[in-house]
Amino acid sequence: MTDLIEFAKALISRESITPDDKGCQKLIIKELSEANFNFKKINSTGVDNLFAWHGVGNPFFIFAGHTDVVPPGPLEAWHTDPFQPVEKNGFLYGRGAADMKAADCAMVLSAKEFVLKNPNHKGMIGLVFTSDEEGLATDGTIKVVEYLKQENKIPDYVVVGEASSKEKVGDAIKIGRRGSMHGELTIIGKQGHIAYPQKADNPIHRCFKALDALAQEKWDQGDEHFPPTSFQFFELQSGAGAANVIPGTLTAKFNFRFSPMSTPDSLHNKIADILSKYDLRYKINYHVSSEPFFSGECDLSQIAIKAIQGVCGIHPELNTEGGTSDGRFFAALGCEVIEIGVVNKTIHKVNECVNIKELKQLNDIYQCILKNIF
Ligand SMILES: [Zn+2]
């Protein structure tokens, strides 16, 4: 049997900066072909996607991950080369160690071992990998999901191996994620000479009260699983390039992280309501980059809780924290989606690492989930 740590090192040593897979999926195919998995490569504008499966029918279970990583950042801040994995004090260091090549390896080897031991298992075990999770995510998992839909292969359960844990492996799993919507508000004034303000209309002066009202608004209360919807401005722009000119427009960009208590439409309406209270001419555009999803305390989360209790002796917290994940694409198929992975303290940072003992525990958790489903 392939050694989990050696396999993780092999993946980490590939400089697969998003959206370049750099041959990682080839290594995954090699492992899974030893257990007679089938493969479908779905490549889309420079992105490598892989769907591997064994068996037929239901239950249909999927492990999902990504082989791309974020850039290493300032090399001088790393204690070791980010693409030369090093074991030190019980940790494995390297870019992608936590997010999420080590978990990729645990998913692959768990599935492989399960199939080797149970070649005639019922249902279907699938694995999905993309090299476009850290990038735009427009040519990644969504393309595999489109393929699965076409083939009428709709999973019942999906475990995404993203780093969900906080202090130690298994202490937290994700049972949903908030959605993300961007907006761009342009307040329209009238350009003019700064010495003749009566002949101009200053959009900077007009913006303050309206933008403050947006910043102060409580969009919803959240619930026991979701924090309240958050709203943040991230860019303000105005100015005509000279100190004696009142600019003609001001643009404010913002982002919502929204819970299922709000919808894009309900947020659009609230914004229109708020802005109507101020004497403004404006244009506004929205872009929903990610819909929220929520699996809740579903069968799969119960199975995962049991697995974690068995392996780690702890009860995981169920949360929906963090940014968006590819889990949303699977959730759109109507299946149960949860996320279980290693500790996320070092993801996207310099000196990213994974606890080796905990990685082995994650592997045991994954195996336990498979045994409980099949
Ligand atoms: Zn990730």
Question: Whole-angstrom Cα distance, residue 151 to residue 258?
Answer: 32
Asked if 268 contacts 325 with a C-beta cutoff of 8 angstroms, the reply is: no
Local structure of 31: helix, strand or coil:
helix
Distance, CA 163 to ligand 1 centroid (Å)? 7
pLDDT of residue 51: 98
What backbone phi and psi angles, to 5 degrees, belong to 66? -140, 145
> What tokens does 206 get?
């007009």
With bands split at pLDDT 50, 70 and 90, how would you rate the model's confidence at 1?
confident
Close Cβ partners of 65 (under 8 Å, ≥ 6 residues apart): 100, 103, 104, 107, 127, 128, 129, 160, 161, 162
123: left (phi over 0), alpha (psi -120 to 50) or beta: left
Q: Which residue has the tokens 């960009």?
A: 253
Report CA(211)–ligand 1 centroid distance (Å). Answer: 34
Set 20, 31, 68, 132: catalytic member: 68
Q: Is 133 a catalytic residue?
A: yes
Ligand 1 center–CA 322 separation, angstroms: 11
- Inform me whether the pLDDT recorded for 136 exceeds 90: no
3 catalytic? Reply is no
pLDDT > 90 fraction of the chain, expressed in percent and rounded? 95
Reference 326, options 62, 52, 15; nearest CA is 62
**Could you read off the pLDDT of 23-71 as tens digits, one per residue?**
999 999 999 999 999 999 999 999 999 999 999 999 999 999 999 999 9
Report how far ligand 1's centroid is from the alpha carbon of 86 (Å).
20
DSSP letter at 198 equals G
- Tokens representing 226? 């979701």
Q: What is the dihedral of CA 97, 103, 109, 115, to 10 degrees?
A: -170
Strand partners, 235: 253
CB 54 within 8 A of CB 115: yes
Q: Which of 133, 134, 139, 358 is catalytic?
A: 133
CA–CA dist 135, 355 (Å, integer): 26
Distance CA 138, CA 326 (A): 10
Q: What is the pLDDT of residue 324?
A: 87
Phi, psi of 34 (to 5 degrees): -70, -15
Report the separation in Å between the CA atom of 19 and the middle of ligand 1, taken as the mean of its atom positions: 13
Q: How confident is the model at residue 280 (pLDDT cuts 50, 70, 90)?
A: very high
pLDDT band for position 201 (50/70/90)?
A: very high
Mean pLDDT of 100-123: 98
**260, amino acid identity:** P
